[in-house]
Chain A
Amino acid sequence: MDKISGSQAIIRCLQEEGVKIIFGFPGGAVIDLYDALMDSDITNVLVRHEQGAVHAADGLARVTGEVGVALLTSGPGATNGVTAIATAYMDSIPMVILTGQVPTPLIGNDAFQEVDIVGITRPCTKHNYLVKDSKDLVPTLREAFHIARTGRPGPVLVDLPKDVVAKMIDFPEKKPIRMQNYQPNYDPHPGQIEKACKKIIKAKNPVLYVGGGVILSNANEELTELARKLNIPVTMTLMGLGGFPGSDPLSMGMLGMHGSYAANMAVANSDLLIAVGARFDDRVTGRLDAFAPHATIIHIDIDPTSISKNVKVDIPIVADCKQALIAMNTWFNTASDFNRERVAASHEPWRETINEWNSKHPMGYHSEGEIIKPQFVIEKLDELTGGDAIITTEVGQNQMWAAQFYKFNKPRCLATSGGLGTMGYGLPAAIGAKMAFPDKIVIDVAGDGSIQMNIQELATARQYNCPVKVAILNNNYLGMVRQWQELFYNKRYAGTVMEVTPDFVKLAEAYGAVGLRATKTSEVEAVIKEALATDNTVIMDFTIAREECVFPMVPAGKATTEMLLV
């Protein structure tokens, strides 16, 4: 067999793994890789900042379920990617990040653009590698993809010294990967499934609490089947939105700090909480001892460390969400001493109670004539896209309003930084999503603060004719922190006033994109319609009610029933 260079072998590995698009930024240490990439059919997206490359790969991974790939150079290229790697790690997104490294003889010598990126990213990757021998290149890459996409997914970084990728090697044949030390468990324990199902039958006030695991394991249909079959109300975490149809009568929307009144009341009063692919994050639980205090807790999760980490679980099921839900549905379909209609009907009083909570305090806001309410903008986006767009968000108020007022009816339609809360995520993630699905409408819901963190990616969007739409909810504040200052810090707006904000319409035009502005409620619909009809990258600048707050809100450290309401 003919020998090929290490970099050619890496590109061939990417093709073997089905990679079509990679996002990156070149530098001295990765010139060989870029050179090899040029001869392949893989689209290389040149971003304007490495954080953007990794976020874009992350956005692609979230909407497709495939492994996202980013290619960065050594030193600052790699460190610029760290925030985005940590973002993907916190939300369990499958990714492979390739970083260049100085030649092996120079490692440890403080060479030009050298940094110990394997050391730096150890706590924010699922695993990482420094490849020191070119014969290990291909096996390492294959292992990296395997680890990224199996079990609880996550980012894997492979550090590639320049001399290692330059060497000529034989391309080894693909063999099934067997790792003695890494064998994630997918199949649920039948005994635990039976125990859980028997508990569900007996419960009077059950709640399904659904997290990102349902989306990662493509278990939305199985979950929907279970909820509808047994008439169990469903609430979702931010990461779980779309895992169950948001417009379904059983949906209570999001729970937690900015969750719906009904969802938080239901969890607090439930006698059985069925957690599926969720991790009891502090933004969901509020004060721990007041979280679901009367409930027996069933927890399905593929990661054993998630179980009983924050909240003691009564029936743990370590398994892939999809496999566990299939097993549960099968149990209910075949169990002899179980009457489905009777169980479903027995939850009717509970659902009525929830409906009462919902009519008492529905998700809502006060209209103020021509002053644009951000919630109204999101409602209009939902209406005018038929709820069928891919929404990415930045972080803060814009993210919460998007989560509260857009009805996510399908999985993989929301890409948002849930765990790490990374401002600047939305625009590059939208580019990644749009590159994966050019026919879909992709909208980044942004704030005037967040959008400026990675606004340079407008150039990337333009270069690749990627007509993403950005909806800026502009209040000239860092709104979420301002809201905390208003509520808990005597309105002392320390460091949250954006005294200078660029003219986003002119800025869009400077990049060759289209800028539109709405300053009155009556202009909102026309602006959105025009943006959707424009075959170009568009920034919509909505001047919103300056001091609008996100409600409901559970103050940090309080019980989730202690909500500040609209």
Chain B
Amino acid sequence: MKHTISVLLQNKPGVLSRVTGLFSGRGFNIESLSVAETMEPSISCLTLVTRGDESIIEQITKQLHKLIDVIKVTDVGDSEYVEREMVLIRVKAEAQTRAEVLRVIDIFRGKVVDVSPKSYAVEVTGSASKVQAIIDILKPIGIQEIVRTGTIAMARASKK
């Protein structure tokens, strides 16, 4: 099963390689990983998406927590949460497909961020499945390049 795990860690050189080294060394898999500073510049937030059964996820969380530079580990899926990913897609846009591409972008509430005579570069934000959906739809038209950020996630605030 897919799990989104959020990790707060010391913002120091080498910390990211401690995390990735742990995953490669113990044979855990990483589907996506994204990391940046938090409000506190000395602390980074890392979001990673991984797959595994319950016992593997338990090991992943515990092993992450065991790293000295890790402050907090949360399996975001343990409560309600929102997740987002951004993708930049360069898609072929020639005379006969330009209008069609724009319609698709509009449906996905995307934005054209770069235009050339033969292509558009498009920005789309959403859940990983929404991002995958627009990629699948644009593929037959001719995708030239894709860059994805990987998922980031945040727990929903308490409704009470």
A interface, CB within 8 angstroms of B: 118-119, 122-123, 126-127, 130, 147, 179-182, 303-305, 308-309, 312
Contacts and interface: CB of A to CB of B under 8 A. Distances in A.
Nearest to B55: A308
Contacts of A305: 59, 62-63, 66
Interface string B11-22: 001100110011
Contacts, number: 36
Nearest to A127: B68
A304 B59 CA distance: 9
A119 B20 CA distance: 12
A146 to B, nearest CB: 10
Contact of B25 (A123, A127, A308): A123
Interface residues of B, number: 20
Nearest to A304: B62
Contact of B69 (A118, A181, A304, A308): A181
A123 B22 CA distance: 7
Contacts of B21: 122-123
Closest 6 A/B residue pairs (Cβ): A127-B68, A305-B62, A181-B71, A304-B62, A123-B25, A182-B68
8 contacts: A122-B21, A123-B21, A126-B68, A180-B71, A181-B69, A305-B66, A308-B55, A312-B55
A126 B68 CA distance: 8
B10 interface: yes
Contacts of B71: 180-181
A181 B17 contact: no
Given A122-B21, A123-B25, A126-B68, A181 B10 contact: yes
B111 interface: no
Given A147-B68, A181-B10, A122 B62 contact: no
Contacts of A126: 68
Contact of B70 (A123, A147, A181, A303): A181
Interface in B34-69: 55, 58-59, 62-63, 65-66, 68-69
Contacts of A182: 68
A118 B18 CA distance: 11
Nearest to A123: B25
A69 B42 CA distance: 31
Contacts of B18: 122
A460 B82 CA distance: 62
Contact of B68 (A118, A181, A303, A309): A181
A97 to B, nearest CB: 16
Most buried by B among A119, A123, A130, A303: A123
A168 B133 CA distance: 61
Nearest to B70: A181
Contacts of B25: 123
Contacts of B62: 304-305
A132 B61 CA distance: 31
A312 B55 CA distance: 9
B59 A119 contact: no
Contact of A309 (B9, B10, B59, B65): B59
A303 B55 contact: no
A126 B13 CA distance: 17
A118 B71 CA distance: 21
Nearest to A122: B21
A452 B39 CA distance: 56
Contacts of A303: 66
Given A122-B18, A127-B68, 11 more contacts: A118-B14, A119-B14, A122-B14, A123-B25, A181-B68, A181-B71, A182-B68, A303-B66, A304-B66, A305-B59, A309-B59
A309 B63 CA distance: 10
B65 A304 contact: yes
Contacts of B55: 308, 312
Contacts of B66: 303-305
A278 to B, nearest CB: 17
Contacts of A181: 9-10, 68-71
A126 B21 CA distance: 13
Nearest to A126: B68
Most buried by B among A122, A126, A127, A147: A122
Contacts of B65: 304
Given A181-B69, A303-B66, A305-B63, A122 B10 contact: no
Contacts of A312: 55
Contacts of A130: 13-14
A127 B63 CA distance: 13
Contacts of B10: 181
Contacts of B58: 308
Nearest to A147: B68
A305 B60 CA distance: 9
A127 B17 CA distance: 13
Given A304-B62, A305-B62, A119 B17 contact: yes
Contacts of B70: 181
A325 to B, nearest CB: 23
A181 B14 CA distance: 16
Contacts of A309: 59
Contacts of B17: 119, 122
A458 B58 CA distance: 47
Most buried by B among A123, A127, A305, A312: A305
Contacts of A118: 14
Interface string B67-78: 011110000000
A147 B69 CA distance: 12
A512 B42 CA distance: 57
A127 B21 CA distance: 13
B131 to A, nearest CB: 33
B11 to A, nearest CB: 12
A541 B98 CA distance: 86
Nearest to A305: B62
Contacts of B59: 305, 309
Nearest to B10: A181
Most buried by A among B9, B21, B62, B71: B62
